[in-house]
Amino acid sequence: PHPIHLKDYRPPEFLIDRVELRFELDPECTRVEARLALRRNPAATRGDGHLRLHGEHLKLTQVAIDGHVLTPAEYRVDGEGLTLHRVPDRFTLETWVEIHPGLNTALEGLYQSGDLLCTQCEAEGFRRITYFLDRPDVMARYTTTLIADRTRFPVLLSNGNPVARAELPDGRHSVTWEDPFPKPSYLFALVAGDLSVIEDGFVTASGRNVKLQIFVEPHNLDKGAHAMRSLKKAMRWDEERFGREYDLDIYMIVAVSHFNMGAMENKGLNVFNDKFVLARPDTATDADFDGIESVIAHEYFHNWTGNRITCRDWFQLSLKEGFTVYRDQEFTSDVGSRAVKRIRDVRTLRAHQFPEDAGPLAHPVRPDSYIEINNFYTTTVYDKGAEVVRMQAALLGPETFRRATDLYFERHDGQAVTTEDFVRCMEGASGRDLTQFRRWYEQAGTPELHIRGEYDATAGAYTLSVCQQTPATPGQPIKQPFHIPLAIGLLGADGRDLPVWLAGESAPPALGTRLLELTEPEHRFTFTGLSERPVPSLLRGFSAPVRVHDDLSDADRMFLMAHDSDGFNRWDAAQTLHERLLLALTNDVAHPIPEDYIAACRRALCDMSADRALLAEVLSLPSETYLSDRMTVIDVDGLHRAHRQLTQHIGERLRDDLLAVYHANAETGDYVFSPEAIGRRALKNLALAYLMRAGDEEGLALCHAQLEAAHNMTDVMAALRLLAEQGGAEADAALDAFHRRWAGESLVLDKWFSVQASAPRPDALERVMALLKHPDYSARNPNRVRALVSTFSNVNQVRFHAADGAGYHFLVDRVLELDPVNPLLAARLLKPLVRWRRFDSERQTLMRAELERVLGRSELSSDVFEVVSKALA
Ligand code: B3K
Ligand code: ZN
């Protein structure tokens, strides 16, 4: 496999204006007839006169140019596509191919999910459907006719509007769809099957009626209401916040059970992993409800950021993904709690993106090269990409940023563009020079800030010195300084914000947060008018994706935890306290757990005025996986022991308060999906977790009672998880009962698998291996594979990294088994082994040997090859 480089980008030699597709659908053998109107691209340089079309796994039966069937001498077919030897400047190309959706286990192109047929074309799946210029800068208008058996496939969907229907002889029928908007091939979709529909409507700001349809398999008809509510909320929000209105007369979402990713934003016809559509209070947790709301919103927002304005090439992926993640994050913040949303996003960023940025797969938000584009749907492109948009929004301020996005939508509607075009709009609307800022797209690695404060009592001045430095990443040994927005506050002894008044300014600014801008390797900022030493609140709201090393004391952090007006930083101060203590305990089991730390936890726990969801975040210890990223050499067992030790200590010391909080937040009555109710459940279940992990008898009784009585999946799963962690006959009985109760509910069974895979019991791996043989396990369903295999290897750190290497061996067996079946999924499973250099030398040897076992295999997919070869490089 060869790398593809951004610097080699060339505009397409030919453009395709119109596409007419005709599918005779059948799982065994589907016939696809394509008629393409091609013309030479005036903006491209002339090549060798041959026209190459992408195509993979296609059986070509006939090809014609302007109605003349070609002889085999006039074209060539190989594993990558179809080459036409001589073509006119403008012509119609017709191809006839056969494909086999029933055998398509990679779930890219046209494939079978249960009894449905559906497509996944991003990034390069369309070439598995027909010969095409399968690249995002070729945008065409599509007409699609679907023909299938009327009984097996009563519903036939594609992009746009239905324009014709017909009953055909021999029990078949057909529907023709027309999509008026030019689109790249990756946004093409079709779905066929026996589906039920939930229908609703939306009137846009300008008064147009849009029909909303969510298609599900008939037995799931009672699980679509939340998705529909979320869709309408997202549509309204995008009008209000970004001035974006929906453009077609129908918006369709289809839930399918076999899907490699979360969902796909195909024009007018989103295809979703059913996990992000289906929910009923008794089958889905609060986290599932939240996930549905944000993924529905995310895919909807793509209609403008991705579909109307798309990417010129796949190096620009963050143009649509980073911006759309930013938009969905803002949506969730606006409809719920901004601080809580920020905390969760930063947790994800620190737990996944920071390690990626520090490891062998580190790459810039706009990568320079790739072997397999499927490997670049990463947390860097998505989540760091969103941070990069967020920083531009912060530098511009809300009004200017809105003008800048308006300009972007106006200037580039209907085009395939680059991240550079996006930044130019930011500059155009603001008049700012973002030359240096562009490094965020070009340089990989997480910048480190070292910040020191110094108070001069006689001058009433406080000086912050800030240095930035970014570690080397593969292929980028030297880093230039970044343009970093650093939001700070200064707190007085009473806990209130002081003016952040820079020396030299004539008058103090308004109280509260101030945005400083770092551009040099070193800065000194002096603040005046301070009659006391302030406590600095640094990087408020996590204003940039950086690691901060400061000189605050634990007392300062407890003070911030109690008083900071920035909710995010209250949490962050608490996290740092937890983290420092956990790392100290990892190194020394006898390290004292300070009384004032316990007191600070108690104060937080009993702070009834605060948002409960925020309190639950403040009192949640950082995960073992996150903490491991904070150690130079990861001490897997030490971290696990320290985590248990501190959890147990808090559970014992705060026992009575935890019980009180549990009872105060227990609710009876119907499930409500509101930030308030979710916060109560989170805090209650956190209290229960501390009590259970401290071995509290009353906690155990409450846990059993909760499992029995709960009428919502959030409380059921919280209790089941804690019991499964304890193990023993009672846990097994509870797990059995759960399995019986939910037989046939696939998404709930995923939870049953994952709760066992994540329990850090000594026999976890044996159990996971036994579950591989369970009749409900299937390597063909990505959700099931993730529930069992990914959960074990990513969440159950202490068992996956067992010193004998059995966890590694298990994972690589799964990867090798899956690679021929579903390479995209196989490559993702490998991720936990990529960090092998972070572990002790014994584990390094074991992990490396397993990676080499993969590399030694002949016939690896490009997906897996790229990950393993880079991991070992
Ligand atoms: N754009 C899709 C991801 C497609 C992944 C292709 N391997 C989902 C999303 O980000 O909205
Ligand atoms: Zn997306």
Give CA torsion, residues 795, 799, 800, 801, to 10 deg: 120
- Counting from 1 in the atom list of ligand 1, the atom nearest the Cα of 321 is 10
Residue 377 Cβ inside 6 Å of ligand 1? The answer reads yes
Hey, what are 291's tokens?
């996930």
Residue 238 Cβ inside 6 Å of ligand 1? The answer reads no
- Residue-wise pLDDT for 501-541, tens only, equals 999 999 999 899 999 999 999 999 999 999 999 999 999 99
pLDDT of residue 48: 84
In angstroms, rounded to a whole number, what is the distance separating the alpha carbons of residues 130 and 21?
A: 9
Cross-strand bridge partners of residue 37 = 18, 92
Residues with Cβ within 8 Å of residue 17, at least 6 apart in sequence: 37, 38, 39, 140, 141
Residue 261 Cβ inside 6 Å of ligand 1? The answer reads yes
- Residue-wise pLDDT for 673-722, tens only, equals 999 999 999 999 999 999 999 999 999 999 999 999 999 999 999 999 99
Counting ligand 1 atoms within 8 A of each CB, the residue from 107, 119, 122 with the most, and so the one to mutate, is 122
Instruction: Tokens 């007191």: give the residue.
Output: 599
Residue 231 belongs to what H/E stretch?
A: helix 225-242
Q: Find the 323 Cα to ligand 1 centroid distance in Å.
A: 13
pLDDT of residue 608: 82
CA-closest residue to ligand 1 atom 4: 122
In angstroms, rounded to a whole number, what is the distance separating the alpha carbons of residues 453 and 489?
A: 13
In angstroms, rounded to a whole number, what is the distance separating the alpha carbons of residues 695 and 652?
A: 9
DSSP state of 436: G
Domains and CATH numbers, the chain: 4-285 (2.60.40.1730), 310-438 (1.10.390.10), 448-548 (2.60.40.1840), 550-695 (1.25.50.10)
Residue 119 Cβ inside 6 Å of ligand 1? The answer reads no
Hey, what are 777's tokens?
């396990």
Q: Are 487 and 540 in contact (CB under 8 A)?
A: yes
Ramachandran sector of residue 797 (left: φ over 0; alpha: ψ -120 to 50; beta: rest): alpha
CA-atom Rg of the chain in angstroms: 28
595 is catalytic: no
In angstroms, rounded to a whole number, what is the distance separating the alpha carbons of residues 405 and 753?
A: 43
pLDDT of residue 609: 83
What's the residue count for the chain?
873
The bound ligand whose nearest atom lies closest to the alpha carbon of 375 is: 1
Q: How confident is the model at residue 576 (pLDDT cuts 50, 70, 90)?
A: very high
In angstroms, rounded to a whole number, what is the distance separating the alpha carbons of residues 698 and 692?
A: 9
CA 831, chain centre distance (Å):
15
pLDDT of residue 129: 99
Q: Are 250 and 211 in contact (CB under 8 A)?
A: yes
ipTM: 0.99
In angstroms, rounded to a whole number, what is the distance separating the alpha carbons of residues 162 and 211?
A: 13
Residue 265 Cβ inside 6 Å of ligand 1? The answer reads yes
CA-closest residue to ligand 1 atom 5: 122
Residues with Cβ within 8 Å of residue 199, at least 6 apart in sequence: 211, 212, 213
Residue 303 Cβ inside 6 Å of ligand 1? The answer reads no
- Residue-wise pLDDT for 357-387, tens only, equals 999 999 999 999 999 999 999 999 999 999 9
In angstroms, rounded to a whole number, what is the distance separating the alpha carbons of residues 727 and 799?
A: 15
- Counting from 1 in the atom list of ligand 1, the atom nearest the Cα of 108 is 7
Over residues 557-584, the mean pLDDT reads: 98
Ramachandran sector of residue 504 (left: φ over 0; alpha: ψ -120 to 50; beta: rest): left
Instruction: Write down the H helix ranges in 790-840.
Output: 791-795, 797-800, 806-818, 823-829, 831-834
Strand-strand pairing, 209-216 and 190-193: unpaired
Q: How many CB atoms lie within 10 A of CB 658?
A: 27
In angstroms, rounded to a whole number, what is the distance separating the alpha carbons of residues 864 and 662?
A: 46
Quick check: bond before 148 cis, omega within 30? Answer: no
Cross-strand bridge partners of residue 301 = none
Kindly write down the DSSP assignment for every residue of 614-646, as one continuous string: HHHHHTSPPPHHHHHTTSSSB-HHHHHHHHHHH
Over residues 560-588, the mean pLDDT reads: 98
Q: How confident is the model at residue 669 (pLDDT cuts 50, 70, 90)?
A: confident
Cross-strand bridge partners of residue 54 = 81, 132
Q: Find the 545 Cα to ligand 2 centroid distance in Å.
A: 20
pLDDT of residue 49: 82
Over residues 284-298, the mean pLDDT reads: 98
**Cβ-based burial of 8 (10 A; exposed 0-12, middle 13-18, buried ≥19):** exposed
Over residues 830-839, the mean pLDDT reads: 98
Kindly write down the DSSP assignment for every residue of 104-163, as one continuous string: --S--EEEEETTEEEEE-TTTTGGGTS-B--STT-EEEEEEEEEEETTT--EEEESSEEE
Strand order across the 155-158 sheet = 109-113, 116-120, 190-193, 155-158
Q: Find the 382 Cα to ligand 2 centroid distance in Å.
A: 8
Residue 786 Cβ inside 6 Å of ligand 1? The answer reads no
Strand-strand pairing, 51-54 and 59-65: unpaired
Closest CA to 159 of 307, 358, 325: 307
> Amino acid letter at 767?
R
The bound ligand whose nearest atom lies closest to the alpha carbon of 323 is: 2
In angstroms, rounded to a whole number, what is the distance separating the alpha carbons of residues 679 and 657?
A: 17
Residue 123 Cβ inside 6 Å of ligand 1? The answer reads yes
Q: Are 229 and 155 in contact (CB under 8 A)?
A: no
In angstroms, rounded to a whole number, what is the distance separating the alpha carbons of residues 685 and 665?
A: 9
- Residue-wise pLDDT for 192-235, tens only, equals 999 999 999 999 999 999 999 999 999 999 999 999 999 999 99
Q: Find the 264 Cα to ligand 1 centroid distance in Å.
A: 5
CA-closest residue to ligand 1 atom 10: 321
* Mean of per-residue pLDDT scores for the chain: 98
User: Taking 90 as the threshold, does the pLDDT of residue 595 lie above it?
Assistant: yes
**Per-position b or e across 245-263, b if 16+ CB within 10 A of its CB:** ebbbebbbbbbbbbbbbeb
Hey, what are 199's tokens?
């229908």
Q: How far is CA 494 from CA 464, 487, 552, in A?
A: 21, 21, 18
Contacts within 8 Å (CB) and 24+ apart, 389-392: 389/322, 389/323, 389/326, 390/326, 390/329, 391/437, 391/440, 391/484, 391/485, 391/543, 391/544, 392/423, 392/426, 392/434, 392/437
Hey, what are 632's tokens?
């130079």
CA-closest residue to ligand 1 atom 2: 264
- Residue-wise pLDDT for 31-56, tens only, equals 999 999 999 999 999 888 899 999 99
- Out of 108, 299, 387, 745, the active site residue is 299
Q: Are 382 and 413 in contact (CB under 8 A)?
A: no
pLDDT of residue 615: 97
Q: How confident is the model at residue 257 (pLDDT cuts 50, 70, 90)?
A: very high
Residue 299 Cβ inside 6 Å of ligand 1? The answer reads yes
Q: Are 791 and 809 in contact (CB under 8 A)?
A: no
- Counting from 1 in the atom list of ligand 1, the atom nearest the Cα of 298 is 11
The sign of the CA dihedral 573, 577, 580, 583 is negative
In angstroms, rounded to a whole number, what is the distance separating the alpha carbons of residues 560 and 613?
A: 18
CA-closest residue to ligand 1 atom 7: 374
User: Taking 80 as the threshold, does the pLDDT of residue 668 lie above it?
Assistant: no
Closest CA to 174 of 20, 19, 22, 18: 22
Q: Find the 770 Cα to ligand 2 centroid distance in Å.
A: 36
pLDDT of residue 151: 98
Residue 325 Cβ inside 6 Å of ligand 1? The answer reads no
Q: Find the 136 Cα to ligand 1 centroid distance in Å.
A: 14
For residue 304, the SS3 value is coil
Counting ligand 1 atoms within 8 A of each CB, the residue from 185, 272, 321 with the most, and so the one to mutate, is 321
In angstroms, rounded to a whole number, what is the distance separating the alpha carbons of residues 672 and 344?
A: 21
CA-closest residue to ligand 1 atom 1: 264
Closest CA to 361 of 381, 344, 390: 381
Task: Compute the half-sphere exposure of residue 410: CA atoms within 13 Å on the CB side of its CA.
Answer: 12
- Counting from 1 in the atom list of ligand 1, the atom nearest the Cα of 122 is 6
Q: Which residues surround ligand 2, an ion (CB under 5 A)?
A: 321, 324
Residue 863 Cβ inside 6 Å of ligand 1? The answer reads no
Residue 264 Cβ inside 6 Å of ligand 1? The answer reads yes
In angstroms, rounded to a whole number, what is the distance separating the alpha carbons of residues 407 and 527?
A: 37
Residue 322 belongs to what H/E stretch?
A: helix 317-335
